[in-house]
Amino acid sequence: MNKVSLRNIAAHKLRLALTVLAVVLGTAFLSGALMFTNMLSSTFDSAVNTVLDDVDAVVRPGDGEGSLEKDAVDEMKALDGVDNVNLFVDLPIVVATDDEVAVQTRLGSSQMGAYYGLDEAVGRAPEIVEGAEPRNLGDVVVNANGAEEYGLRVGQELIVVDRDGRNTVHISGLYDDPLVQPTSLRLAVSEETYLDFYTDGERVPAVTVAGDDGVVEKLREHFPDLKIESGAKVAEETTQQIRDALSFVTYFLVAFGLVGLLVGTFLIANTFSMIVAQRTKEFALLRALGASRGQITRSVTLEAALVGLVGSVLGVAGGAGLVLLIRAGMESFGMPLPAAGVGLSWDAVVVPVVVGTVVTVLSALAPARKAGQVRPVEAMRASEASTPQPLTGRTIAGAVLVAVAVAAAGYAMAWGDGATSRRAALVGVAALGAISGLFLAGPALSMPVVPPLGRVIGAPFGAVGKLASTNTRRNPRRTATTAFALMLGIALVTVIGMLGASMKKSVDDVAQSEVSADYVLVGPEMGAFPIPGDIPERLEHVEGARDIVAYTQAPITVDGEFGYQFGSVGMTDVLAGDPAKLIDLDMVDGSSSLDGDVFIAPVEIANERGWHVGDTVEVAAPTAPGTTVEVTVGGLFAGSNVLRTFVVSDDAAGKVSSLSNTRLQMVGVNGASREALEDEVRGDIVVQVRSAEEMSGEVTALIDQMLFILYALLSLAVVIAVLGIVNTLTLSVIERRQEIGMLRAVGSQRRQIRTMIVLESIQMTVYGAVLGVLLGLGLGWAFLTVLESQGLTTIAVPTGLIATVLASSVVVGLLAAVWPGQRAAKTPPLDAIAE
């Protein structure tokens, strides 16, 4: 039987290729997701390790205030066993040419560091490839690939802006650093220039030390209040932080990999079911020759295992190719990655191979058992057509699952006071139930839908159209399973489309209904780069300017909690001025004024914590233990999409957190003209003047970019589904060889056979697309209703996307039927009948 299985695989090369292709597509994305994450991790790991190579010690402040005493650094340099001490700095900056035009680094970044030559450097010293080292005050060296990207040259004057001001520097040279992206700029100045331009001369951020073997212990002994670690340990800590930060990327990519594998699973199961149906006479003949049911079942299972193993191995190779395509795509979009291979690792190979093989075997189990149940007498029948299987049992099971899914989604939507995570989990359960239920009930559901649809689509084609409609009704299992893969991919696209449309609509609604300031001043990248802290004071002198409100964030807690918690890092909103002048704030109790040691909070949060107007709570800064201030609850406001949590006054925040820990994100202002505001901040370079509508436009552009990536990933699931339709139609043509031969023998032309196959394909794709859109709209509505508390106040339906999807399904049907139709049309009539 094993020999029969192997010979059977070798004898049906087309069928083998189609089945292997299903497994390859299913595992390639999973493997590629793991490889891509490994590649990102290794890129950052190598960068961290290279920066800290040969670094014996890293000295950082122990009090969390972010700086060291300069006198302490001088003492370190004088210690026995210490060879060199370097500043360890990486300051975010914005670079502009001398005509005050900022260098737009697009998807890169700009940083300022300290430069040390070969004799002074702790660790790796950069190699100067053009010009000279920065010897004079204001000299700077720039990464050569970044300089080439942005047209910077040796001898050029640059304006460098940081959060505290601006300085003019002179490019003295270019250096080579393969770890820096060409789209990023890494500037480095001498220690003297850094101390003069970017510190007060008394404190520095951190230092690295090179010395003898006991330098870490010696430094700890002399400076017990400072945080002193070996370079290797800091590299390990930093690497782990990067891995933790990349974990969401891993989950994101693997989730899409599993979606692709899920679609592939149904494709594999469908393929094996059709193959078993085609081989009824073969199995019956083996049974007549004495093969037992178990032998037949094991034979099919062995074929599935071999196909799964070969397909999974090829899928790993395909995953590597996918990573190379992603690298090329990122490079074309201005995000080149340093050379770090394709991220090949044992887990990126073993996991997809094991998962792909197991999924293939599991997908083949039901068809394998069905093959074992073939009776020997069936070998005597003239036709190979499989006996129709009853649909009652699976239809009832599917209907029950769909009902459970609807109930779970309805409960999640109605559970208003439940935690968002639990409600979202219920929607996830509903999605799984709906998908499984539709898979089971699909054949019965297709019977009253697809044939009428087929008659409408086939009406212009006369008898050929009627015949295509009859064919889809004759085998509802094949029709529904073929459409199911496409349904799943389109449902995902619809859900993501609803999410994007709702996000953009919610942003527009916030801009139009809540933001009341005439203009908002922000930094580049939607405020990711802080703007100079003196902007609010300077705006007071601008003609017509009034109602100035400054929005910052600081690492302080209110009653022991941060407003926003990001892992181990927390921040809280801080405002100077009256926030009611910036947004339409609905005050439920008290006042919105933030004068003095006060704070305001959303009424929901106040109710949870038992706060009332007039109560006092403690504001503290975890980075400066022991420093606290009592603040009074000044007012409570209704839910706001702009102010999502409590807001502390600038006066109170300044008493517990130093200026170096705060970031001025934006400033709202009324009254002044745009021209006057732009004239005031032109010299700052980093400040942009935006209206509320322009702010929402930038946010929606970012949402579009995010959705582009999501759609690119989802497209693979749709491609798998389309290839699944090609696969099914091709196998269907093989199965119906006698039928098609008879049609040719009684006078059907090749053109008519091709038309019939195309019409069948269009019926299945349109049915799958409509079902996918309906499923996606239902799940999207439930999901977005649950996320309403997270700011998605408006649910929008992407009508344009849905229309495109439905129209595209017709095109997909046409394209998917090209090759199977050609194959069917070439069926020799006499040979087919003779068989």
pLDDT of 586-615, one tens digit each? 899 999 888 889 999 999 899 989 999 999
The highest-confidence range among 91-105, 279-293, 298-312, 566-580, by mean pLDDT, is 298-312
C-alpha to C-alpha distances, 292 to 301, 368, 418, 600, nearest whole angstrom: 14, 13, 56, 78
Q: 730 is written with which tokens?
A: 């091709």
Averaged over 30-52, what is the pLDDT? 71
pLDDT of 159: 92
pLDDT of 254: 63
- DSSP per-residue letters across 17-68: HHHHHHHHHHHHHHHHHHHHHHHHHHHHHHHHHHHTTT--EEEE-SSSSS-E
First to last CA, the chain: 25
pLDDT band at residue 139 using 50, 70 and 90 as cut-offs: very high
By the 8 A CB rule, do 451 and 735 touch? no
pLDDT of 267: 66
Percent above pLDDT 90 for the chain: 15
Above 60 in pLDDT, residue 659? no
By the 8 A CB rule, do 448 and 455 touch? no
What is the spatial distance between Cα 182 and Cα 142, in angstroms, rounded to a whole number?
11
pLDDT of 778: 92
Query: Any idea what the Cα angle at residue 452 is, between residues 449 and 456, rounded to 5°?
Result: 130
Read off the pLDDT of residues 515-564 as tens digits, 9 standing for 90 and up.
778 888 887 655 556 777 788 889 988 999 888 998 888 888 998 888 88
What is the spatial distance between Cα 397 and Cα 136, in angstroms, rounded to a whole number?
80
Read off the pLDDT of residues 782-799 as tens digits, 9 standing for 90 and up.
888 887 766 566 788 888
Averaged over 411-428, what is the pLDDT? 82
Strands 598-602 and 616-620: unpaired
- CA dihedral sign, ordered 262, 267, 272, 273: positive
What is the spatial distance between Cα 386 and Cα 586, in angstroms, rounded to a whole number?
68
Above 50 in pLDDT, residue 420? yes
Percent above pLDDT 70 for the chain: 83
What is the spatial distance between Cα 694 and Cα 511, in angstroms, rounded to a whole number?
9
pLDDT of 794: 76
- Between 173 and 166, where is the model more confident? 173
Above 90 in pLDDT, residue 38? no
- CA dihedral sign, ordered 47, 328, 499, 104: positive
Nearest to 508 by CA among 788, 782, 708, 701: 701
pLDDT band at residue 384 using 50, 70 and 90 as cut-offs: very low
pLDDT band at residue 491 using 50, 70 and 90 as cut-offs: confident
Above 60 in pLDDT, residue 156? yes
Averaged over 425-435, what is the pLDDT? 86
pLDDT of 827: 80
The highest-confidence range among 253-257, 407-411, 562-566, by mean pLDDT, is 407-411
Helix count and strand count (H, E) for the chain = 26, 26
pLDDT of 786: 83
The highest-confidence range among 250-264, 376-390, 445-459, 706-720, by mean pLDDT, is 445-459
Averaged over 484-511, what is the pLDDT? 76
pLDDT of 309: 93
Averaged over 206-215, what is the pLDDT? 87
By the 8 A CB rule, do 543 and 676 touch? yes
Range in 127-136, 506-515, 683-692 with the lowest mean pLDDT: 506-515
Q: What is the mean pLDDT of the chain?
A: 81
What is the spatial distance between Cα 93 and Cα 166, in angstroms, rounded to a whole number?
9
Above 60 in pLDDT, residue 569? yes
Nearest to 644 by CA among 798, 420, 411: 420
pLDDT of 829: 81
Dihedral in degrees, nearest 10, Cα atoms 45, 49, 52, 58: 50
Averaged over 27-51, what is the pLDDT? 71
Averaged over 248-255, what is the pLDDT? 60
- Between 695 and 161, where is the model more confident? 161
pLDDT of 385: 46
Which parts of 555-687 are beta strand (E)?
A: 557-558, 564-566, 569-576, 587-590, 598-602, 616-620, 628-637, 647-649, 663-670
Nearest to 210 by CA among 97, 110, 76: 76
pLDDT of 230: 86
Look at the pTM and tell me if it is higher than 0.85.
no
Above 90 in pLDDT, residue 261? no
Range in 49-58, 158-167, 354-363, 418-427 with the lowest mean pLDDT: 49-58
pLDDT band at residue 716 using 50, 70 and 90 as cut-offs: low
Averaged over 7-24, what is the pLDDT? 77
What is the spatial distance between Cα 100 and Cα 583, in angstroms, rounded to a whole number?
32
**φ, ψ of residue 385 in degrees (nearest 5):** -65, 135
